[in-house]
Amino acid sequence: MSTIERAMKRLAEMSAQNKREGQATASANVPVASDPELPEIASAEEKIPPFVDDKAPHYTSSSFSVAAEESPAENARPLPSRPTIHPHSQIELRDWAARHGMDLGATEKRQMIECYRHIKRPLIINAEGEGRLASRFSNRIMVTSSLPDEGKTFTSLNLAISFAAERGKHVVYIDTDMVHSSLPDTLGIEVEHGIVDYLEGENLSLNDVIWGTDFPNLMILPAGRSHAYSTELLAGRNMRGLLTEIEESFESDVIVILDTPPLLASSEAATLARFVGQIVLVIEAGNTAKDDLCDALAMIDKGKLAGFVLNKYQQPGNPTAYGYYRYSA
């Protein structure tokens, strides 16, 4: 029992005793200080109001002063409410994942699953603030490539699925390729509204444009229709606001994966690189030219480069290893 509670109990007991004895005791004479563990209390009725129903007095941690009922104590501020996301539709992603070697429910070890476990681990360590790229935005991971058709979207989706296997984390995959998005064809979905419509401010909420999946902690935000000023939209305040809204919508940690257009094919990827803390660059084995790779690297902050994913790598002497992903930090 705290000192305050003992004082209040002592006052209540003495008040009841005085009433029984028919004595009128002035508040200034209530001998609450007779207990050596209790502090001196002058004018007890002024300092400690009676406890009536649920109107409990608000005490500060440093004194017995009581704040007025209409003015709550400064250290009793209500916690801010968090928005919640309610996707408007659901994508059956498990079947797609199983067809591409990412069946997370398989009992036997699958080569693709193990590859992505190796890829994601340093990314998670950075996102949790313990790795070499730990920063304020290290939970935001951009996946890009030098040129089109190097496997960027395939890599991004598989990485998102692998992240979804983590306990206590949510994953939001954002398709930011507003000109040549391959996501609808890849997943077999028809997108009415996407990130373009949200960023244009067409009175759409995040719930109107985001999709759920049959992975409970994985959501997908498609790009939607193409837009002539996609770079300007992605560079604006609404994009920053979107990322903040997503992060504030979850009580637990959230990983945001941005699937961006190729660095050398458009300016969107370099624009989005400002908003992330980690960048993963996809390289197509046997096809990406060294000069193209160097040009792509010149467009991003090397301090955010988490590593490379070598896509479509065929292990010598093992034709079944096609699609093996190698990661280099």
Answer yes or no: is 319 within a domain: yes
Q: Which of 71, 304, 77, 100 is nearest to 186 (CA)?
A: 100
Specify the amino acid at residue 265: A
**Which of 26, 54, 76 lies at the terminal end of a domain, its last residue?**
76
Whether residue 260 is predicted with pLDDT greater than 50 in this model: the reply is yes
pLDDT score recorded for residue 21 = 53
pLDDT score recorded for residue 12 = 59
Q: For 71-194, where are the alpha helices, taking DSSP H only?
A: 93-99, 111-127, 152-164, 183-187
Answer yes or no: is 84 within a domain: no
pLDDT score recorded for residue 150 = 94
Unique residue bearing structure tokens 């770079």 = 231
Same domain, residue pair 35 and 174: no
In the chain, the largest separation of any two C-alpha atoms, in whole Å, equals 102
Answer yes or no: is 68 within a domain: yes
Greatest mean pLDDT among 59-63, 93-97, 274-278 lies in 274-278
Ordered DSSP codes for 178-243: SSS--HHHHHT---SS-HHHHHTT-S--HHHH-EEESSTTEEEE---S--TTHHHHHHSHHHHHHH
Cβ atoms 282, 151 nearer than 8 A: yes
Same domain, residue pair 240 and 269: yes
Cβ atoms 44, 58 nearer than 8 A: no
Cβ atoms 271, 302 nearer than 8 A: no
Mean pLDDT value across residues 248-270: 91
4-13, 233-242, 260-269, 305-314: the lowest-pLDDT one: 4-13
Answer yes or no: is 251 within a domain: yes
Percent of the chain with pLDDT over 70: 68
Same domain, residue pair 159 and 72: no
What is the residue range of 17's domain?
3-76
Same domain, residue pair 164 and 313: yes
Cβ atoms 97, 164 nearer than 8 A: no
Answer yes or no: is 52 within a domain: yes
Same domain, residue pair 104 and 63: no
Q: Which helix (H) or strand (E) holds 292?
A: helix 290-297
- How many domains is the chain built from? 2
Answer yes or no: is 50 within a domain: yes
The H helix count followed by the E strand count for the chain is 12, 11
Sheet with 140-145, strands from edge to edge, namely: 89-91, 211-213, 218-221, 169-175, 253-259, 140-145, 278-284, 305-313, 324-328
Mean pLDDT value across residues 132-158: 93
Mean pLDDT value across residues 71-78: 36
Tokens at 125, concatenated: 């360590």
**What average pLDDT is seen over the chain?**
76
**Which of 53, 76, 99 lies at the terminal end of a domain, its last residue?**
76
Q: Which of 287, 278, 163 is nearest to 220 (CA)?
A: 163
pLDDT score recorded for residue 174 = 96
d(CA 234, CA 229) in angstroms, rounded, equals 9
Cβ atoms 85, 210 nearer than 8 A: yes
Other Cβ atoms less than 10 A from the Cβ of 193: the count is 16
Mean pLDDT value across residues 114-140: 92
Tokens at 116, concatenated: 């992505």
Same domain, residue pair 206 and 298: yes
Same domain, residue pair 186 and 248: yes
pLDDT band at 218, cuts 50/70/90?
Answer: very high
Tokens at 19, concatenated: 């009433």
Mean pLDDT value across residues 147-160: 94
**Which of 76, 97, 122 lies at the terminal end of a domain, its last residue?**
76
Answer yes or no: is 10 within a domain: yes
52-56, 116-120, 163-167: the lowest-pLDDT one: 52-56
Specify the pTM: 0.70
Q: Which of 221, 241, 323 is nearest to 282 (CA)?
A: 323
Same domain, residue pair 145 and 277: yes
Mean pLDDT value across residues 220-240: 89
Over the stretch 29-61, which tens digit does the pLDDT of each residue have? 434 344 444 344 344 434 333 333 333 333 333
Answer yes or no: is 310 within a domain: yes
Same domain, residue pair 69 and 173: no
Ordered DSSP codes for 56-72: --EE-SS-S-EE-TTS-
Same domain, residue pair 271 and 200: yes
Same domain, residue pair 127 and 165: yes
Which of residues 98 and 221 earns the better pLDDT score? 221
Which of residues 7 and 285 earns the better pLDDT score? 285
d(CA 217, CA 287) in angstroms, rounded, equals 35
Specify the amino acid at residue 306: A
Q: Compute CA 155 distance to the chain's CA centroid, rounded to the nearest angstrom.
A: 21
Same domain, residue pair 160 and 28: no
pLDDT score recorded for residue 47 = 39
196-200, 247-251, 301-305: the lowest-pLDDT one: 247-251
